[in-house]
Amino acid sequence: MAKNLTISVDEELLRRARGVAREQGTSLNALLSGYLETLVGEQPGDLVVDELLMLMHTHGGRSGGCKMGRDELCEDRVG
pLDDT digits (tens, 9 = 90+) for 11-39: 999 999 999 999 999 999 999 988 888 78
Confidence of residue 68 (pLDDT cuts 50, 70, 90): confident
Are 31 and 20 in contact by the 8 Å Cβ rule? The answer is: yes
Which tops the pLDDT comparison, 28 or 77?
28
The pTM assigned to this predicted structure is 0.49
Return the CATH number of the domain spanning residue range 1-57.
1.10.1220
| Confidence at residue 42, expressed as pLDDT on a 0 to 100 scale | 66
Alpha helix stretches (DSSP H) within 1-79: 11-23, 28-39, 45-59, 70-74
Q: What is the pLDDT of residues 50-63, one digit of tens each?
A: 777 887 777 766 66
